[in-house]
């Protein structure tokens, strides 16, 4: 015996859905991410999120996802440890090729190989961890022994010690919106650190000689500040240093949060938010650099706030990258997915996630349940669904594709679930569209009939049997059972929802009934058709296959 149920839900394909939770987590269970390791995160001026992963580059606009790999784009490599987004929203990749490195530029639409075979670049063996690109396309490249400025025509080499900082190792580089170049450095032999920047009068620098090693920094231009995280081996203290943006003079120093005053606690991945607060990854530096979570220095009150997996929804304490978007949402790249956090509630276009699944409800084992989903396209362009995929074999769909939905219009798709075993099943539904991938998380539960045998159950319950034969040509029989008398309609539809014929439209007594559907009465082509019965509070739909 098989039962069939149909449900309806509504999904808005637009960016007007807003989540008000403090946290939103995206991982392989509720997004197209193939793994949960996010190596780097950035956001552009349009609010799009860009993720560097082991499986290429991902873009998420709040509704749709896109995945760029070496197979479908000119992405130079699939393991994205680092990329740089300039102030014009161009994404840059450095390819450390032999004999000379080159750059790949992506503006969101087109890919371009830039500065190939530049002999003024150092050979590939001398390049180190990072590079930046200013608004004019000038590259700053950090090597093991020099800082290189390349303007598209020639290279200028800077010896870090000639800048005024007694060091040979640069930890991090960046440029601000005014195209001033910043870097921090350290000298392991002399336990010193420094920060420097370009200006119209040449280099400005501060050796930060009493603070030990420099680990990371960020620039807070609206508030005329720069922040540097350091640690000192002689005092076993981690520090957060506040400096003036214009002159790099130390304004204040704060001990990194360490409530037990044990071990060396340090911070990295610094970024300032719209409220002047400084967000950082938090690490225990003694005994193997154990990552502890997320740390916020609240400048108004000069206090620390600590987040980890035990007191928040942070999915992992291992943080690789942090950025702040235009809504003051903190985007946190971890080894267990992307966390989006805003202490005032996320102003972030929301998408259904693992925590708010579409529940198909319960169905009897071996029965077929259909979820009818109405998709509203409120984006600014036409939407074309090319294919539909599921992460669980118990969910499937046989909609006619491609399906086009014009702007401000809607269309229905049907999602089917069936299981021969009892249990709860979860699946990602992915709509592959011309605008990217849209993800919905589905849940369905298969249960046994309640304490009755099939014969009694058939006498007590409403059911609609699978037609027989199926596939059929030219006729098939449809059986159904009514627990009570009532007005009954039994109709046949094509895959587009157009009515083909009405088989029953009358008052019928309780009990078992059967009807014949013969195609000699109508002109039909081979394909899938649906038959639906309605009576009182009951209704059900099944599909059948016509083969000519």
pLDDT digits (tens, 9 = 90+) for 451-483: 434 444 444 467 787 788 888 888 898 988 888
Asked whether residue 484 falls in the same domain as residue 421, the answer is: no
Please give the Cα distance from 302 to 254 (Å, whole number): 8
Rounded mean pLDDT, 393-404: 85
**Per-residue pLDDT at 238 exceeds 70:** yes
pLDDT digits (tens, 9 = 90+) for 254-309: 999 888 887 788 888 999 999 999 999 999 876 567 889 999 999 998 999 999 99
Residue with tokens 């396209």: 377
Find all residues with CB under 8 Å of 278, minimum gap 6, and list them.
218, 220, 227, 240, 270, 271, 272, 296, 297, 299
Identify the band that residue 206 occupies on the pLDDT scale cut at 50, 70 and 90.
confident
Identify the band that residue 490 occupies on the pLDDT scale cut at 50, 70 and 90.
very high
Give, in order, the Cα–Cα distances in Å from 483 to each of 146, 462, 514, 539.
85, 6, 15, 13
Compute how many other C-beta atoms are within 10 angstroms of the C-beta atom of residue 71: 9
When the pLDDT of each residue in the chain is averaged and rounded to a whole number, the result is 82
Residue 11 lies in a domain: no
Asked whether residue 115 falls in the same domain as residue 255, the answer is: yes
Asked whether residue 321 falls in the same domain as residue 358, the answer is: no
Residue 268 lies in a domain: yes
Residue 9 lies in a domain: no
Find all residues with CB under 8 Å of 399, minimum gap 6, and list them.
388, 413, 414, 495
Please give the Cα distance from 487 to 250 (Å, whole number): 84
Of 416, 447, 478, the position where a domain reaches its end is 447
Q: b vs e for 245-271, b when ≥16 Cβ sit within 10 Å of the residue's Cβ?
A: beebeeeebbebbbeeeeebbbbbbbb
Asked whether residue 433 falls in the same domain as residue 487, the answer is: no
Q: Which CATH number belongs to the domain containing residue 515 in this structure?
A: 2.60.40.2550
Asked whether residue 328 falls in the same domain as residue 370, the answer is: no
- Say which range, 43-52, 132-141, 273-282, has the weakest mean pLDDT: 132-141
Of 384, 416, 447, the position where a domain reaches its end is 447
Q: Which CATH number belongs to the domain containing residue 63 in this structure?
A: 2.130.10.10
First to last CA, the chain: 28
Residue 10 lies in a domain: no
Two structure tokens written together for 204: 């400005």
Asked whether residue 432 falls in the same domain as residue 460, the answer is: no
Top pLDDT among 24 and 234 is at: 24
Identify the band that residue 521 occupies on the pLDDT scale cut at 50, 70 and 90.
low
Per-residue 3-state assignment (H helix, E strand, C coil) for 464-519: ECCCECCCECCEEEEEEEECCCEEEEEEEEECCCCEEEEEEEEEECCEEEEEEEEH
Alpha-carbon dihedral of residues 519, 522, 526, 528, nearest 10 degrees?
-90
Selection from 37, 20, 12 nearest residue 327 by Cα? 20
**Domain total for the chain?**
3
Residue 3 lies in a domain: no
8 A C-beta contact, residue 182 and residue 163 = no
Share of the chain above pLDDT 90, in %: 34
Asked whether residue 183 falls in the same domain as residue 132, the answer is: yes
Residue 91 lies in a domain: yes
Asked whether residue 316 falls in the same domain as residue 213, the answer is: yes
Per-residue 3-state assignment (H helix, E strand, C coil) for 220-251: EHHHCEEEEEEEECCCCEEEEEEEECCCCCEE
Asked whether residue 399 falls in the same domain as residue 261, the answer is: no
Asked whether residue 466 falls in the same domain as residue 396, the answer is: no
Asked whether residue 106 falls in the same domain as residue 140, the answer is: yes
Please give the Cα distance from 53 to 319 (Å, whole number): 14
> Reduced to 3 states, what is the DSSP secondary structure of residue 280?
strand
The pLDDT, as a whole number, for residue 347 is: 53
Of 341, 364, 383, the position where a domain reaches its end is 341
Domain assignment of residue 324, given as a range: 19-341
Please give the Cα distance from 274 to 43 (Å, whole number): 15
Top pLDDT among 123 and 53 is at: 53
Please give the Cα distance from 505 to 484 (Å, whole number): 16
Asked whether residue 410 falls in the same domain as residue 286, the answer is: no
Residue 349 lies in a domain: no
Two structure tokens written together for 39: 């190596």
**Per-residue pLDDT at 125 exceeds 60:** no
The pLDDT, as a whole number, for residue 382 is: 86
Residue 516 lies in a domain: yes
Please give the Cα distance from 298 to 215 (Å, whole number): 20
The pLDDT, as a whole number, for residue 170 is: 72
């Amino acid at each position: 015996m098989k039962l069939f149920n149909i449900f309806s839900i509504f999904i808005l394909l637009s960016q007007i859905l807003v989540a008000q939770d403090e946290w939103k987590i995206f991982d392989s269970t509720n997004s197209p991410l193939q793994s949960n390791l996010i190596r780097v995160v950035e956001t552009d001026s349009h609010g799009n999120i860009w993720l560097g992963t082991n499986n290429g580059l991902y873009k998420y606009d709040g509704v749709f996802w896109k995945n760029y790999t070496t197979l479908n784009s000119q992405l130079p490599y699939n393991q994205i440890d680092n990329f740089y987004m300039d102030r014009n929203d161009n994404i840059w990749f450095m390819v450390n090729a032999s004999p000379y490195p080159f750059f790949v530029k992506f503006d969101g639409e087109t890919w371009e190989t830039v500065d190939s075979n530049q002999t003024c670049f150092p050979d590939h063996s001398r390049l180190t961890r990072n590079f930046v690109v200013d608004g004019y396309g000038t590259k700053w490249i950090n090597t093991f022994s020099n800082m290189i400025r390349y303007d598209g025509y020639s290279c200028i080499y800077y010896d870090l010690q000639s800048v005024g900082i007694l060091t040979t190792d640069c930890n991090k580089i960046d440029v601000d919106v005014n195209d001033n170049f910043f870097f921090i450095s350290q000298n392991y032999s002399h336990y010193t650190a420094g920060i420097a920047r370009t200006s119209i009068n040449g280099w400005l620098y501060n050796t930060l000689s009493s603070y030990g090693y420099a680990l990371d920094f960020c620039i807070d231009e609206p508030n005329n500040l720069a922040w540097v995280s350091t640690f000192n081996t002689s005092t076993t203290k981690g520090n957060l240093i506040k400096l003036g943006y214009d002159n790099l003079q130390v304004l204040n120093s704060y001990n990194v949060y360490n409530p037990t005053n044990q071990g060396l606690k340090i911070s990295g991945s610094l970024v300032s938010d719209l409220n002047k607060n400084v967000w950082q990854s938090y690490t225990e530096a003694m005994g193997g650099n154990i990552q502890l979570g997320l740390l916020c220095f609240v400048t108004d009150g000069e206090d620390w706030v600590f987040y980890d997996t035990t007191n928040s929804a942070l999915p992992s304490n291992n943080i690789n990258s942090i950025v702040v978007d235009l809504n003051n949402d903190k985007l946190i790249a971890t080894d267990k997915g992307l966390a989006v956090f805003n202490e005032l509630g996320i102003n972030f276009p929301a998408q259904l996630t693992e925590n708010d699944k579409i529940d198909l409800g319960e169905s009897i084992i071996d029965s077929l349940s259909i979820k009818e989903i109405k998709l509203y396209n409120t984006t600014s362009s036409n939407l074309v669904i090319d294919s539909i995929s599921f992460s669980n074999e118990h969910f499937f769909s046989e909609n006619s594709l491609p399906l086009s939905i014009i702007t401000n219009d809607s269309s229905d798709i049907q999602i089917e679930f069936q299981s021969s075993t009892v249990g709860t099943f979860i699946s990602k539904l992915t709509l592959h569209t011309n605008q990217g991938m849209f993800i919905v998380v589905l849940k369905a539960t298969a249960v046994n009939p309640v304490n009755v045998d099939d014969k009694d159950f058939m006498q007590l319950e409403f059911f609609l049997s699978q037609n027989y034969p199926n596939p059929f040509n030219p006729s098939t029989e449809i059986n159904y059972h009514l627990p009570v008398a009532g007005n009954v309609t039994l109709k046949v539809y094509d895959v587009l929802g157009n009515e083909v014929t009405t088989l029953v439209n009358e008052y019928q007594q309780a009990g078992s009934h059967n009807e014949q559907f013969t195609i000699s009465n109508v002109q039909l082509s081979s394909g899938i058709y649906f038959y639906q019965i309605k009576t009182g509070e009951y209704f059900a739909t099944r599909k059948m296959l016509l083969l000519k």
